[in-house]
Structure formats: C-alpha cells, structure tokens
Structure 1
Amino acid sequence: MVLLIPAIELRNGQCRRRIQGPSGTEEYFARLQQQPERMVQLLREENARSLHIVDLDGLESGSPSEENGRATERIVDAVDIPIEYFSVFRTAAECERWLHRGVFRLVISDLVMTCPEAVERLVHRYTPSRIVLGIRARNRFVSIGMETLSDVDLALRAKALGMRRVIYSDVEWEGTYRGPDFEMITAFAQDVRMSITIAGGIDSPQELWRCNTLRSVGVDSVIVGRALAENRFPCQHIWRQVEALLEKKSDGSQKKS
C-alpha cells in the first residue's frame, strides 16, 4: 500500500487548517492549530509515519519565513518520525543548516535550475533520500524565475544531478477534492522513471487505492492535508471521536479539581 503522509501547512507560524473534530472539541483543536508542535504530536499518536511540512508564506513570497522556520524547528523536536520540509532554499548552506538541524528530507525546486552544481554536491553528501525535487505544476509546466519548462524537463534535470524522487502537485488540484489527474501522473512517471509522491487532491480511501495501482510506475506515497483535517477517512473519524471523549474527560477532571 502507498504510504500516506500527513501535511501541515504553516502560515504565520501556525497551522493553516484546523481539524474539524466532533462537537465539544472546538477549543481543543483551535489550540492545536496555534501550536503546530502539538498538532504533529497528535498526528504521530494517530500513527503517522512521516510528516510533510510546508512553509506557505515562503513559497508565496519567494523568501523563507523565519516564523514558519521557528515553528518547523519546534516540530522537529516534538516527534520521533522523519520530517519533510518544503520551503524556499536559496543556497546549499541553507539546505545544510536544515539537514543538520534534524529535518530528514528537503523538498527543493529552484536550486535545480539556479545552482545545479550545489544540488549535485548535496545529493552526493546527504543521499537522494534526503534531497528530493518538488514540482508544483500548472498544466504540466513549471515556472522558475523567468524560465518556464515542462515538468518532465525539470525532473530529468534533477535526475541528472542524482535526485531520485519527485513530490508532484498541480495548482489545479491542491487543496481541492477534484482528485489528481491519474492519467497525467502515469504518463509523467513513465517518462521520468523516478520514485513519485503525489501531493494533494486525495479525498477518499477509494482514491488511495487508485494511487496504489500506480506503484508499478513508481508512485509509492501520497501527501494529504485537507482531507485528514476534515476526517475524510474512516480511521481519522474514529480517532477524532476518541480524542473528543478524552478531551471531555480531561475538562471534567479539571473542573472537579
């Protein structure tokens, strides 16, 4: 089965999305939204095996967010599972700082075009497992600076530098329930022959099973954010019901004391 990786999108140092728990847990999940390090601990308790952290402010502005960076450092310290960080990395030195800080994997894109030699050295030193390509495409094309190139072209350039994994998303399906374009993903995977993580668009167990049918072309994992926050999967719904009961018991104990 493909690995499901929960996503935490950071904005102003807080989680962009709030978990929609059962009645009575609104304040509890509001607190978690403001404290990403506690949110990831909850996801770990729900059996997450890895986490995908996104610096939304950085990706939108083109400059890494210091506030989201500090939140990411707290996240790294809070859990014992691999953290994957997607932000704006302008130099190899910035990448190395994060790897030494405890982030397991960095998701990069611009550096492949702007500093290919540095990327090649990073991959050689830290292995392809820790330096991976992030593609946020629009209709199969990616814009980096003043240049626009196809998703396949960017992936093959990264592959030539030693990179072996692509985290692929499209702005048309990010944060929506339209679902990934499975035919497009299949064609892309066959062209690049790399390990692929699909990011965004997944909203049901049925779509997870469909992703599983693409294992033969290299798809081995999916990143899910909104659907987990909205309890779109049966296991999430059960966990959140239990969390609601525990929270009510905790509130009751505090009132008695």
Structure 2
Amino acid sequence: MILYPAIDLKDGQAVRLVHGDMDRSTVFNDDPAAQARAFVDAGCSWLHLVDLNGAFAGTPVNAAPVEAILKACKVPAQLGGGIRDMATIERWLDKGLARVILGTVAVENPDLVREAAAAFPGQVAVGIDARGGKVATKGWAEETDVMVTDLAKSFEDAGVAAIIYTDILRDGAMGGPNIAATEALARAVSIPVIASGGVSSLADLEALKATGVIDGAISGRALYDGAIDLEQALKALKD
C-alpha cells in the first residue's frame, strides 16, 4: 500500500483545513517545495498535491508552488483542484505531473474523464469526495444526490488509474479514516482505491492495509503534527 504525503496549497502556502473549511486553515509551511523535499528525503515514493483555491475557482490558482515542487522533487506527484478541461489536463501533464485528479468534472462532465483517461493512460484519477455516502463537488461546497459507489462504478470501463475517496467529515479532524466505507468501495470496483481523510496514526495505516483491497492512503495533518513518523510508516507498509 502506497502512502501519499499531502501538500494542500492555499494562497501559495502548505496548509491543512478542517472538514474542508477554507476559513479553518492552519499554515504548516510557507515553502511548499521545501516541504515536498522533506517528504521525499524521508523516503516517500509519491506526493499528493491539492490546489485548494483552484478547487473553488474552477481553474488552477497555485500553479507556481506546484511547478516549484515538480522541479524540486523527482518522485511522481498527483494533483487535484481546479482541473476541469482538457487543456488544463494536458498543460499539467506536460509540466511533469504524473497524474491529474478530476473531481467536480467527474460528476458534471463524465465524458471528459473518459476522454482524458483514453488520451493519457495511467495518468487520470477520479477524486470522489463524500458526506454521508453522497458526492460533494466544487471544493466540497456543493452536495449532490449522487452516491459514491454509483459514480465509481460508472468509470469501471474508462481506464481510470485510481479513485481517491475522501470522507469529508473525517478530513483534517485526526479522528481516523472511514475504513468500512473505503473498503466497501474498493470491493465494489476493480479500479484501485486510495483512502483519504482522517488518516492520523500508524494504526490507521495498518488497518487500511489489512483490508487487503485498499491501494493507498493519503495523510497530511498527522505528518505535519508528528502523529505519524513518515519513515516509520513507510517501513511498516513495506514489511
């Protein structure tokens, strides 16, 4: 199981939100590229980046720090937030991003997901963010009536590289991930599922791994706060 350290970008800084609330942010590093290098130096094999401003604006906002991270780090990185058209997808992949994450458009324009996944095999993931099993869009600000599993299953034949499933009510709250819901989703689809939201201890990571069906986990605040030691976690997940 791959551990993805998260770097959430707001106004050019690395931050963490609580429950996706932009007004409840904590700045952890003024230099996101330095933060990324620290994660890579600790041994991570992937980075997970989110343009928080972009998720609300519907277009990339934190391009400069993302590009700085891509220049500073040689490990693959995936990015979500404000990626809602083919031109933006192509631009990011041309800049060296390994994978784009499509969230809002997966609900509003699923044909774009299919087109992108066909054009860029292995480089398009779908981000599914949910409250109470229902999908939320536009930086989690808008709730839909779409069920998580239904949306995931609709992309079974699209060639999507991964599904990143976030339980919004767990995100940034350090209360543990929604293992049952994530495992259920992973068993319902053949697409690799990455858990996000609430991963706050080594025990959480080990429990996700123990399901045998979850492909990866994203953690942010716990790594910044020291609740998870990255080197120790990576070793545990490898053993």
Tell me the TM-score range normalised by the shorter chain: 0.7 to 0.9
Q: Does the CA contact (< 8 Å) of 2:60 and 2:83 recur in 1?
A: no
Secondary structure of 1:180's partner?
Answer: coil
Cα drift, residue 65 of structure 1 = 4.1
Pairs within 5 Å for 1:111-122: 111-122=105-116
Q: Does the CA contact (< 8 Å) of 1:55 and 1:64 recur in 2?
A: no
Q: Identify the match of residue 126 of structure 2 among 133, 156, 162.
A: 133
Pairs within 5 Å for 1:37-56: 37-56=33-52
Q: Identify the match of residue 154 of structure 1 among 146, 151, 154.
A: 151
Q: Counterpart in 2 of 1:228?
A: 223
In structure 2, what residue type is equivalent to 1:131? V
Q: Does the CA contact (< 8 Å) of 2:165 and 2:193 recur in 1?
A: yes
Instruction: Return 132-141 or 41-50, whichever deviates more.
Output: 41-50
Q: Identify the match of residue 193 of structure 1 among 180, 183, 190.
A: 190
Please identify the structure whose Cα radius of gyration is greater.
Answer: 1
Distance 1:183 1:103, change over 3 A: same
Q: Counterpart in 1 of 2:177?
A: 180
Distance 1:8 1:235, change over 3 A: closer
When you count helix as a share of all residues, which structure comes out higher?
Answer: 1
Pairs within 5 Å for 1:14-33: 14-16=13-15, 33=29
Q: Counterpart in 1 of 2:5?
A: 6
Matched, 1:170 2:167: yes
Q: Identify the match of residue 136 of structure 2 among 139, 143, 151.
A: 143
Q: Does the CA contact (< 8 Å) of 1:123 and 1:163 recur in 2?
A: yes
- Cα RMSD (Å) of the superposition? 2.1
Cα displacement string for residues 116-171 of structure 1 (whole angstroms, at most 9, x for unaligned residues): 333222212211x2101101100110134785200011111222322242101111
Q: Identify the match of residue 34 of structure 1 among 14, 19, 30.
A: 30
In structure 1, what residue type is equivalent to 2:149? V
Q: Does the CA contact (< 8 Å) of 1:112 and 1:157 recur in 2?
A: no
Q: Does the CA contact (< 8 Å) of 2:43 and 2:231 recur in 1?
A: no
Pairs within 5 Å for 1:69-80: 69-80=63-74
Distance 1:235 1:85, change over 3 A: closer
Aligned mates of 2:198, 2:69 — CA distance in 1: 25
Distance 1:195 1:136, change over 3 A: same
Q: Identify the match of residue 84 of structure 2 among 90, 94, 115.
A: 90
Distance 1:111 1:13, change over 3 A: same
Sequence identity (%): 27
Distance 1:65 1:163, change over 3 A: closer
Aligned residues: 218
Aligned mates of 1:234, 1:126 — CA distance in 2: 34
Q: Identify the match of residue 75 of structure 2 among 81, 89, 103.
A: 81
Cα drift, residue 82 of structure 1 = 0.3
Q: Does the CA contact (< 8 Å) of 2:135 and 2:143 recur in 1?
A: no
Q: Does the CA contact (< 8 Å) of 1:228 and 1:236 recur in 2?
A: no
Pairs within 5 Å for 1:206-225: 206-215=203-212, 217=213, 219-225=214-220
Aligned mates of 2:144, 2:173 — CA distance in 1: 27
Secondary structure of 1:189's partner?
Answer: helix
Aligned mates of 1:185, 1:138 — CA distance in 2: 13
In structure 2, what residue type is equivalent to 1:10? L
Q: Counterpart in 2 of 1:25?
A: none
In structure 2, what residue type is equivalent to 1:15? A
Cα displacement string for residues 30-54 of structure 1 (whole angstroms, at most 9, x for unaligned residues): 9x81111111111111111110011
Aligned mates of 2:105, 2:59 — CA distance in 1: 14
Distance 1:41 1:235, change over 3 A: closer
In structure 1, what residue type is equivalent to 2:220? G
